């Protein structure tokens, strides 16, 4: 039945996306090119409606059971509404945060999803108590916006999200969580179907309607799969989401170094840096797909490793990320502490 739901979601995405594209032009939900954007033509930008619709087709066909499901669907609907309003009216950043906060609160308070404690690797538990609610909300909003921030090239957010969802589904199989397996797989199929129209050269953008929805669902599914477990296992979703988390983290570092507002927009995200390095639009997207897939593979290896093996893997990942950041200038042109250290040692 799961296979049928996955196929139904994929086919529904292929059918719904052209319909949503025509609807977007009819209601004026289009993205105008400007100095910050890569595209040069007017593009429809509410493609997230097609992803959401396709997901509902597969989800309602299978009806996976979980105590959190009602809260998740209501929260997802609020996120879709927030993204749609932004794509239509370009609402303020504060209004977008209010919508995301409302969706997160629904999942936490109504759906009952909270990170209440983690098991420490050498015995004992770390109880979060009253902090469990704000920690959970911050995670959901943070990952939601991380996916939103990487939505800068044709097919980038859809592809990275699909890879992350497949990785989450595989990890959920290993950890024995059938609800996350089913929901992540259905959503991955919906996103993959949309990618046929969104890959370069794109015929439609997912807009905030899609990027906020995918980010929200990925953040929630990651929590469902890994909450209240060992601290080592809690790192797994962070590794799976390594691309959007790293891009967001170094965007903050970059803006602090440049003495800019953290929320200030710029053209120095990972995809912008790859384009400046000389890679084409399509090559940049495929490189980031490869990085996302490597993060997913690393998460699977991490889950099967010993404690010390996990520590070594994390250190190697951090060194690799830092080296890439310095080579392409993700944190700023003059940010090269690791390369300078290696040169100093070499002398």
Higher local confidence (pLDDT), 268 or 141: 141
Place of tokens 């890994």: 226
For residue 307, give both structure tokens.
């404690």
Average pLDDT for 296-315: 82
Mean pLDDT, residues 133-149 taken together = 88
The pLDDT tens digits of the residues spanning 85-134 come to 999 988 888 999 999 999 999 999 887 788 776 666 555 667 777 888 89
- Structural domain boundaries of the chain? 2-346
Q: What is the C-alpha to C-alpha distance for residues 228 and 105, in angstroms, rounded to an integer?
A: 19
Q: Would the CA dihedral through 47, 51, 137, 319 be positive or negative?
A: negative
pLDDT at 59: 95
Mean pLDDT score of the chain, rounded to an integer? 85
* 71: nearest Cα among 149, 136, 167: 136
List the binding residues for Mg(2+): 148, 208
What pLDDT was estimated at residue 42? 81
Residue 265 has pLDDT above 70, yes or no: no
CA atoms within 13 A on the CB side of 116: 5
Q: How confident is the model at residue 161 (pLDDT cuts 50, 70, 90)?
A: very high
Taking residues 276-304, report their average pLDDT.
87
Query: Residue for token digits 């909003």?
Result: 141
**Rounded Cα distance, 269 and 215, in Å:** 17
Residue-wise pLDDT tens digits, 224-256: 866 555 555 567 778 888 888 888 888 787 878
- Tokens 């990942």 -> residue: 317
Question: What torsion, rounded to 10 degrees, do the Cα atoms 10, 11, 12, 14 define?
Answer: 90
Mark the binding-site residues, compressed into ranges. 148, 208
The pLDDT of residue 37: 55
pLDDT digits (tens, 9 = 90+) for 41-99: 788 989 999 999 999 999 999 988 887 888 999 999 999 999 999 999 888 889 999 99
Phi, psi of 313, rounded to the nearest 5 degrees: -65, -40
Give residue 72's pLDDT: 92
Nearby residues of 304 by Cβ (< 8 Å), 6 or more positions away:
none
Most confident of 30-39, 263-272, 290-299: 290-299
Spatial contact of 48 and 211, defined as CB atoms under 8 Å apart: yes
* CB within 8 Å of 73: residues ≥ 6 apart: none
Q: Give DSSP secondary structure letters for 172-229.
A: HHHHT-HHHHHHHHHHHHHHHHHHHHHSSSPS---HHHHHHHHHHHHHHHHHHHHTTS
Supply the pTM of this predicted model. Answer: 0.88
């Amino acid at each position: 039945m799961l296979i049928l739901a996955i196929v139904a979601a994929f086919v529904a995405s292929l059918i719904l996306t052209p319909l949503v594209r025509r609807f977007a032009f009819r209601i004026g939900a289009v993205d105008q090119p400007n100095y910050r954007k890569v595209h040069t033509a007017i593009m429809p930008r509410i493609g997230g409606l097609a992803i959401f619709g396709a997901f509902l087709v597969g989800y309602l066909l299978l009806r996976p059971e979980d105590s959190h499901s009602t809260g998740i669907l209501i929260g997802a609907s609020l996120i879709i509404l927030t993204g749609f309003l932004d794509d239509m009216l370009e609402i303020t950043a504060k209004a977008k945060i209010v919508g995301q906060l409302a969706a997160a609160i629904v999942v936490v308070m109504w759906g009952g999803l909270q990170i209440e404690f983690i098991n420490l690797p050498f015995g004992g538990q770390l109880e979060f108590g009253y902090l469990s609610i704000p920690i959970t909300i911050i995670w959901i909003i943070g990952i939601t916006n991380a996916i939103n921030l990487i939505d800068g090239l044709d097919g980038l957010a859809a592809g990275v999200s699909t890879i992350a969802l497949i990785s989450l589904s595989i990890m959920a199989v290993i950890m024995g969580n059938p609800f996350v397996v089913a929901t992540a797989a259905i959503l991955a199929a919906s996103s993959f179907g949309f990618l046929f129209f969104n890959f370069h050269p794109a015929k439609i953008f997912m807009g905030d309607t899609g990027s906020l929805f995918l980010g929200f669902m990925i953040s929630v599914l990651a929590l469902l799969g890994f909450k209240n477990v060992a601290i080592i296992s809690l790192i797994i979703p962070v590794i799976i989401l390594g691309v959007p988390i790293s891009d967001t983290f170094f965007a903050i570092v970059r803006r602090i170094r440049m003495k800019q507002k953290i929320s200030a927009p710029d053209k120095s995200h990972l995809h912008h840096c790859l384009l400046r390095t000389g890679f084409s639009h399509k090559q940049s997207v495929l490189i980031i797909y490869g990085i996302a897939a490597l993060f997913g593979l690393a998460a699977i290896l991490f889950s099967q490793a010993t404690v010390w093996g996990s520590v070594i893997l994390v250190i190697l990942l951090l060194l690799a990320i830092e080296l890439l950041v310095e080579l392409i200038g993700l944190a700023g042109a003059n940010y090269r502490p690791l390369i300078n250290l290696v040169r100093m040692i070499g002398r």
